[in-house]
Amino acid sequence: MAGPNIQGRQQENEGETPERAPGPAAPITTIATGTRNTLHEAMETEYPPEYLTNAGRVVDDFLELQKGESVLFITDDDPRHSDPRLIALLEQAVKSKGGTATIFRIEGPQERHRQTPELQQLIDSHDVIWIASDVADATLPVTFDEILEKLDAQTGKRMVHCTGVQAELLANDGALSEPKEVMERRMDAIEKRVEHVAGFHIQTALGTNLWMSLKPGRTWYKAGGRIPRGSWDNLPGGEIFTTPDQEHVDGTLVLSTLHDDVTTEQGVDQPVKLTIKDGKIQQIEGGTSAGKLRTYLHENAQMADDPEDVYTCAEIAFGVNAKATALETHIGDSEWRKDGPSAVVTEKRLGTVHVAFGSDNHGFIEGSPGDARGKNWQKNIPSHLDFVLAQEGLTVRAFDTSDAFERAKVSGSSGAGSDYLIENGDLRLFAAS
């Protein structure tokens, strides 16, 4: 989950000079590792006042930071992972709420073991762990799973994953400014509609034709970005997801973009067609982009307990954040190789669906509500790729009974017992407000 995401802020009135919020007077002095210059420059930058206001809301509404609590920001030198401007704004917001902040810069795989003791101590001594770096086990001095094990409702230790998130998302039209109450209402409405659904039929204008059975009784997990004590989530928030019946997902999935763990390119040279049978990717067709996906999955399969698990469907999700970046289609045009937005952002876009393959643990913590884990949750599966299907041309039909789903799957027609959740991009689940 890494990659830059640049969103413009709201338009200024023509002829007016907008008020600018001043940067903090002094540089960050609590840098545990790494250079001070980049963050110092970020602190001295003048930002639109809304950025500071919305940074405060992130700290209040999503981190639920209390006076005296501390935040550890884990960063690296790759601008596709860590935006020092965002960290500087959040650091100021933390201090304004009576908290303290430390910034730790990881220095890459060669320095991983040297940095491990220091990072372990910092994790133990901070209340909130904010990860804005590469999360690969070979790079992060304390692994993602090891940090999860340290989260504790008694002590209040919690974690945020925000790799690839940029300062522009703090604009009033940015994904970090979407009110949590609005997203929670949308997730509640979707949960009410889908919690007893037997299956979905997903189609897109590019040729996706996927039949997905759901497992009775499996929870839909609502991830709105709120991070209570002892828990973790991605920011920006805004998705509701579950693990499907993993042995009963069949058809084709045609992609116009790949997950940024595979490539940071915003598009593909040719559509990437996945053929899926019994819940597993059987074939990957396309050009250069398809080759990158095949290589990525093959490499991760070698590290898994069972190589087939990397190719297994692990998630179906609906986005609920109306301010999250919308995917743009770039197939073989002059723009397709440019860096695209992070999947951590685009997967949250209201009106989209994403389908994931690989790990089905979903970072679940024992004792937490909303267990959406799949059949392979106890195994080592090193990858989790979310493939986002843009709203334009997207159709999702829901079937309320297994019989209706199976009849439609065999005949290829809608038939009785189904209804549209999204029809050719038109969101039918609820009013998009």
Average pLDDT, rounded, for the chain: 87
Does 207 or 19 have the greater pLDDT score?
207
Tokens at 57, concatenated: 């809301």
What integer pLDDT is reported at residue 114 of this predicted model? 95
Does 148 or 22 have the greater pLDDT score?
148
What integer pLDDT is reported at residue 47 of this predicted model? 86
- pLDDT > 90 in the chain, percent: 77
Q: C-alpha distances in angstroms, 164 versus 32, 284, 393?
A: 21, 27, 27
Q: Domains, the chain, ranges and CATH? A: 31-170 (3.40.50), 178-427 (no CATH)
What global pTM score does this model have?
A: 0.87
What integer pLDDT is reported at residue 413 of this predicted model? 72
Residue 17 pLDDT greater than 90, yes or no: no
Residue 251 pLDDT greater than 60, yes or no: yes
pLDDT tens readout for residues 24-55: 333 333 455 443 444 555 656 788 999 999 99
Separation between Cα atoms, residue 208 and residue 255, nearest integer Å: 8
Separation between Cα atoms, residue 173 and residue 170, nearest integer Å: 8
Question: Residue 159 — pLDDT band, cuts 50, 70, 90?
Answer: very high
pLDDT tens readout for residues 325-334: 999 999 999 9
Separation between Cα atoms, residue 255 and residue 390, nearest integer Å: 10
What integer pLDDT is reported at residue 380 of this predicted model? 85
* H/E element, 17: none
What integer pLDDT is reported at residue 41 of this predicted model? 57
What integer pLDDT is reported at residue 346 of this predicted model? 96
Nearest C-alpha neighbor of 384 from the set 278, 234, 272: 234
Separation between Cα atoms, residue 122 and residue 72, nearest integer Å: 7
DSSP assignments along 365-428, one per residue: -TT-S-----TTTTS----EEEEEE-STT-EEEEESSHHHHHHHHHHTS--SSEEEEEETTEE-
What integer pLDDT is reported at residue 26 of this predicted model? 34
Nearest C-alpha neighbor of 347 from the set 300, 391, 309: 391
For helices 49-57 and 84-96, what crossing angle results, to 10°? 60
Q: Which residues of 370-380 are buried (b: 16+ CB within 10 A; e: fewer)?
A: ebbbbbbbeee
What integer pLDDT is reported at residue 5 of this predicted model? 27
Residue 61 pLDDT greater than 50, yes or no: yes
Q: Is the peptide bond before 109 cis (omega within 30 degrees of 0)?
A: no
pLDDT tens readout for residues 361-412: 776 655 555 566 677 666 788 899 999 999 999 999 999 999 999 999 998 7
**161: region left, alpha or beta (phi > 0 left; psi from -120 to 50 alpha):** beta
- pLDDT > 70 in the chain, percent: 85
Q: What is the mean pLDDT of residues 68-84?
A: 95
